[in-house]
A and B are shown apart, each in its own frame.
Chain A
Amino acid sequence: MPAMARACQAHGGHAPAMELLEAPMPVVGGSCWQIRGELPGQKRFWLCFTTADINARKTIALAESGGQPSLLEPFLIDEKRMSLALLVSRLVQRLDGQKWLGPN
């Protein structure tokens, strides 16, 4: 998570407030490990791991302006070997692609 915060700041944006916790997965429910993050403007994201492992299948959900997420998307399902650097870079890419880290 510190790496994630650094990467976001390096991208010129605010570091998201993040926490790692075991909680119900958005949309579908059921307990799982997840990283819950919030960016200014009540933009929230959930990165969920189906098991407690970085190589586990991951899903991501996004919600703006404090709303509840409505769509659970698979995240990096094609990557065979997952590393922290790759996970961080792809998460930053995703948030940036969503135009959450800065303007176009």
Chain B
Amino acid sequence: MFGFLRQVGDYTRDAVDAARYLTQGLAVTFDHMKRRPITVQYPYEKLIPSERYRGRIHFELDKCIACEVCVRVCPINLPVVDWVMNKETRKKQLRNYSIDFGVCIFCGNCVEYCPTNCLSMTEEYELASFDRHSLNFDSVALGRLPTNVTTDASVTPLRELAYLPRGEMDPHGVAADRRRAGRLPSEVAAEWAAPAGGEEVRP
């Protein structure tokens, strides 16, 4: 007899839920009202790339064993590994190694799978050139130390929004020693390594 009351209740609950979700979504939208666009005067000011940024690849010739794993895990088989067998040492001798950064998609698979860690990602991202063939880096160019935003004396490094202290929106004028919002990854790792008494260690 009162079956229709359940339908009314369902309808009301759905309407309340919909209103709540709409409000939650619009809260994020309206949160941006108090943010203003921040202009970075690019060649003189640069944003610091975040940790684990995947920039130009650095290569150490001495560590390479010419196993060609980087070629196999590359989506387009990009690295060129030129080696010959050395009969005296019974080991491969690397003659040339090159990666074409005009073609590379910076997925980081080669760095991930390199068994001797001779490849690594840098935070160097300025790879503009007049000729696309000059982006084909050989072993000498790959072995150069990467340029760094924070150590370049002619550049003012600026922090990205996620690395600013709580409440700060503009990286200009924020002191370098003010710590960023939230906990640092090292602090989280230290907490996991030494758990409070009797607490189970999380993976």
Contacts and interface: CB of A to CB of B under 8 A. Distances in A.
The size class of the interface chain A forms with chain B is 20 to 34
B97 A97 contact: yes
Interface string B85-113: 01011010111110000000000000000
Nearest to B63: A78
A76 B95 CA distance: 16
A20 interface: no
B61 A99 contact: no
A89 B88 contact: yes
Interface stretch (A28-36, A38-46, A48-56, A67-75): A67-75
Given A89-B93, A96-B95, A97-B97, A76 B62 contact: yes
B140 A93 contact: no
B91 A86 contact: yes
B140 A74 contact: no
Interface string A66-104: 000001011111100001011001101110111100001
A94 B61 contact: yes
A60 B63 CA distance: 13
B139 interface: yes
A76 B16 CA distance: 68
A74 B89 contact: no
A28 B96 CA distance: 30
B138 A85 contact: no
A73 B89 contact: no
A76 B156 CA distance: 37
A14 to B, nearest CB: 18
A98 B96 CA distance: 10
Nearest to B66: A93
B89 A89 contact: yes
Nearest to B61: A97
B89 A94 contact: no
Interface of A: 60, 71, 73-78, 83, 85-86, 89-90, 92-94, 96-99, 104
Given A89-B88, A93-B61, 18 more contacts: A73-B60, A73-B62, A74-B62, A77-B62, A86-B91, A89-B86, A89-B89, A89-B91, A90-B93, A93-B94, A93-B95, A97-B94, A97-B95, A97-B97, A97-B139, A97-B143, A99-B138, A104-B96
